[in-house]
């Protein structure tokens, strides 16, 4: 797929038109809807611009936490499987004791949340 | 399905007949009717009604409140909320006067009640930014502390006297460890939603390990925050949105009010984005005689972010499942990482790590 502009760039341009041209024409009680549409487009544009990079990174970080886990060829299924394992480990108290495991899990959670925030709301990271 | 009361003449006719009978009037007519922007859970209408005859003759500025399609688990229906408004009024809390409850869904399509319309603005982002609203901010925070203290004065032992025969059995009971109750409830909700959420589990495990028995169980509002009270240019006019009220730990409402996720961007004003904690705590302590327990408040601030994240996931699930397609609900799902970051920060801080 080489046609240009790419999807992310199109979304960004569409969003600019919405904010600069259309939003001022909306009645005041519909302004919030316009802003929500713009926000949804911004999130989608960031995700589209990033492609599979975030998923690949997530898999890499999770594989570091679970080195013995079998590799799943499905890029989307793998992080879900390992995150489910992590979630039950945490719930079962297996990451409670101060030490290497707890620190590694803490570090993973922060990186994972930060990566998702970069897509959903990068302003929250400032 | 939304009820379009403004376009439904037959529903309006049934409404005025209900009001006339409830108010003891010869006749009721609608002088004006307009939708008010509500939350994701209710629909509110501003309605002016002219009553002829009877003790209430004259024009009445009212709000009609009914269920919206997207009720979330654990929220009360209109009949319960109506009873809670009466209870709050009896306890001296500033609330809109509840007037008439209609439990018959045949009248406008769903149960509803009418209350007196109180002037003011509730929108959190406006109150936080526009300093001409709400009067001096320290005084507003202090007053909110006093109002919260009045709510917390309602205890399981004291409720009978205020309730005037109304049953409040619908209020979710609390064990002597309400924090642990919540951990179990939120895990149950998460399990029902399917996808794993390890950062929320991290917060839940911390809440489990750090839960403590509560010294006292009181009536808690459960959504006492900026965005759910009305202010005019002078100060507070009403505490709204009682649909989550329950029995619980008094510090849980304090933590919810101060939680970073309800500061509407004004993160350095830790009491609801409007003031420092000190005036809010001062108002609460003076009116309740109960000292604020800072460790308890910290605990409930972690719980607040977990709770809001779980509710956000439930709201997003309503959209994703097709039960209620809505951009607002869809976007609510994307605030979860922000809440998770704060959970990680709060747990780190509690464990003596720099956030």
pLDDT of amino acid A71? 73
The mean pLDDT of B104-121, rounded to a whole number, is 93
Is the pLDDT higher at B85 or at B75? B85
> What does the alpha-carbon distance between residue A57 and residue A50 come to, in Å, rounded to a whole number?
11
Same domain, B273 and B162: yes
ipTM, interface predicted TM-score of the complex: 0.94
The mean pLDDT value of chain B amounts to: 93
**A29 contacts in B (CB within 8 Å)?**
37
Q: Looking at B78, B93, B116, which one is the last position of a domain?
A: B116
pLDDT of amino acid B40? 53
The mean pLDDT of B13-38, rounded to a whole number, is 92
Same domain, B79 and B190: no
**A73 lies in some domain:** yes
Whether A30 contacts chain B with CB within 8 A? no
**A107 lies in some domain:** yes
**B276 lies in some domain:** yes
Q: Looking at B100, B116, B132, which one is the last position of a domain?
A: B116
**B342 contacts in A (CB within 8 Å)?**
none
Is the pLDDT higher at B7 or at B191? B191
pLDDT of amino acid A72? 72
**B207 lies in some domain:** yes
State the virtual CA torsion across B87, B91, B93, B98 in degrees, nearest 10: 30
Please determine, for residue A51, whether its predicted confidence score (pLDDT) is greater than 90. no
Same domain, A89 and A106: yes
Please determine, for residue B39, whether its predicted confidence score (pLDDT) is greater than 60. no
> What does the alpha-carbon distance between residue B336 and residue B203 come to, in Å, rounded to a whole number?
13
**B197 contacts in A (CB within 8 Å)?**
87
Same domain, A42 and A91: no
Same domain, A44 and A70: no
**B281 lies in some domain:** yes
Whether the bond into A5 is cis, omega within 30 of 0: yes
**A33 lies in some domain:** yes
pLDDT of amino acid B355? 55
Span B323-355, pLDDT tens digits:
888 999 999 999 999 999 999 999 999 998 865
**A41 lies in some domain:** yes
Same domain, A44 and A62: no
Confidence bin at B19 (pLDDT 50/70/90): very high
Within B153-249, residue ranges assigned H as helices are: 159-163, 178-193, 198-209
Q: Looking at B276, B292, B308, which one is the last position of a domain?
A: B292
Same domain, B142 and B280: yes
**B244 lies in some domain:** yes
Please determine, for residue B42, whether its predicted confidence score (pLDDT) is greater than 90. no
Span B140-155, pLDDT tens digits:
999 999 999 999 999 9
> What does the alpha-carbon distance between residue B252 and residue B297 come to, in Å, rounded to a whole number?
7
C-alpha closest to that of B4 among B40, B45, B39, B41? B45
Same domain, A41 and A63: no
Tokens 């409720």 sit on residue: B159
Same domain, B160 and B240: yes
Confidence bin at A19 (pLDDT 50/70/90): very high
**A2 lies in some domain:** no
Same domain, A57 and A12: no
Percent share of chain A, pLDDT over 90: 74
Same domain, B15 and B136: no
pLDDT of amino acid B69? 63
Cβ-based neighbours of B129, under 8 Å, separated by 6 or more: B264, B266
Q: Closest Cα of chain B to A84: distance in Å? A: 5
Same domain, A62 and A44: no
Same domain, A43 and A60: no
Same domain, A57 and A46: no
**A1 lies in some domain:** no
Contact B337 A120 (CB under 8 A): yes
pLDDT of amino acid B248? 96
Percent share of chain B, pLDDT over 70: 95
Confidence bin at A62 (pLDDT 50/70/90): very high
Q: Give the structural domain span for B304.
A: 175-213+293-355
The mean pLDDT of A59-65, rounded to a whole number, is 92
The mean pLDDT of B96-116, rounded to a whole number, is 94
Confidence bin at B72 (pLDDT 50/70/90): low
The mean pLDDT of B23-48, rounded to a whole number, is 85
* Of A93, A96, A109, Cβ closest to residue B344: A109
Confidence bin at B294 (pLDDT 50/70/90): very high
**B4 lies in some domain:** no
Do A35 and A76 touch, CB atoms closer than 8 A? no
Contact A33 B202 (CB under 8 A): no
Same domain, B87 and B126: no
Same domain, B14 and B48: yes
Number of domains composing chain A: 2
pLDDT of amino acid B73? 60
Same domain, B64 and B108: yes
Number of domains composing chain B: 3
Same domain, B17 and B135: no
For residue B148, what is the domain's CATH number?
A: 1.10.510
pLDDT of amino acid B2? 58
**B3 lies in some domain:** no
Q: Give the structural domain span for A41.
A: 7-50
Confidence bin at B71 (pLDDT 50/70/90): low
Do A88 and B190 touch, CB atoms closer than 8 A? no
Confidence bin at B51 (pLDDT 50/70/90): very high
The mean pLDDT of A47-61, rounded to a whole number, is 89
**B58 lies in some domain:** yes
Same domain, A99 and A112: yes
pLDDT of amino acid B3? 66
Confidence bin at B70 (pLDDT 50/70/90): low
Span B211-261, pLDDT tens digits:
999 989 999 999 999 999 999 999 999 999 999 999 999 999 999 999 999
Quick one: closest CA in A to B197, which residue?
A87
Same domain, B99 and B52: yes
Span A74-116, pLDDT tens digits:
777 888 999 999 999 999 999 999 999 999 999 999 999 999 9
**A62 lies in some domain:** yes
* Of B205, B335, B336, Cβ closest to residue A90: B205
Please determine, for residue B38, whether its predicted confidence score (pLDDT) is greater than 80. no
Do B307 and B343 touch, CB atoms closer than 8 A? no
**B2 lies in some domain:** no
């Amino acid at each position: 797929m080489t046609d240009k502009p790419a999807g992310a760039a199109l979304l960004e341009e569409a969003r600019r038109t919405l904010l600069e041209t259309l939003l001022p024409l909306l009645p005041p009680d519909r302004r919030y809807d316009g802003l929500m549409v713009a926000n949804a487009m911004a999130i989608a544009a960031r995700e589209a611009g990033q492609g599979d990079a975030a998923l690949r990174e997530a898999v890499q970080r999770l594989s570091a936490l679970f080195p013995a886990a079998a590799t799943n060829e499905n890029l989307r299924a793998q992080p879900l499987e390992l995150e489910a394992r992590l979630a039950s480990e945490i719930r079962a108290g297996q990451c409670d004791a101060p030490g290497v495991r707890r620190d590694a899990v803490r570090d993973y959670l922060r990186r994972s949340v930060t990566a998702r925030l970069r897509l959903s709301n990068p302003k929250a990271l400032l | 399905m939304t009820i379009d009361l403004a376009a439904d003449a037959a529903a309006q006719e049934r409404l005025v007949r209900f009001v006339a009978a409830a108010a003891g009037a010869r006749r009721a007519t609608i002088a004006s009717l307009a939708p008010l922007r509500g939350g994701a859970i209710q629909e509110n209408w501003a309605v002016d009604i002219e009553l002829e005859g009877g003790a209430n003759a004259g024009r009445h500025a009212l709000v009609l409140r009914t269920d919206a399609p997207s009720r979330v688990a654990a929220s009360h229906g209109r009949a319960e909320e109506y009873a809670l408004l009466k209870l709050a009024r009896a306890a001296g809390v500033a609330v809109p006067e509840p007037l008439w409850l209609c439990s018959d869904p045949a009248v406008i399509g769903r149960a509803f009640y009418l209350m007196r319309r109180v002037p003011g603005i509730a929108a959190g982002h406006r109150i936080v930014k526009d300093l001409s609203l709400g009067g001096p901010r320290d005084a507003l925070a202090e007053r909110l502390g006093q109002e919260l203290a009045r709510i917390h004065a309602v205890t399981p032992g004291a409720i009978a006297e205020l309730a005037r025969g109304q049953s409040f059995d619908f209020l979710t009971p609390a064990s002597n460890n309400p924090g642990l109750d919540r951990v179990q409830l939120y895990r149950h909700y998460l399990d029902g939603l399917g996808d794993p959420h390890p950062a929320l589990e991290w917060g839940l495990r911390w809440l489990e390990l750090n839960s403590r028995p509560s010294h006292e169980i009181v009536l808690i509002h459960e959504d006492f925050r900026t965005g759910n009270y009305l202010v005019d240019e002078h100060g507070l006019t009403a505490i709204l949105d009682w649909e989550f009220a329950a029995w619980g730990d008094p510090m849980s409402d304090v933590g919810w009010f101060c939680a970073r996720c309800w500061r509407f961007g004004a993160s350095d004003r830790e009491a609801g984005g409007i003031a420092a904690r000190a005036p809010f705590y001062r108002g609460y302590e003076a009116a309740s005689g109960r000292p604020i327990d800072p460790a308890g408040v910290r605990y409930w601030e972690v719980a607040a972010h977990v709770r809001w994240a779980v509710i956000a996931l439930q709201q997003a699930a309503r959209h994703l499942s097709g039960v209620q397609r809505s951009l607002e609900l869809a976007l609510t799902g994307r605030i979860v990482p922000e809440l998770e970051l704060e959970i990680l920060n709060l747990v780190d801080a509690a464990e003596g790590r720099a956030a």
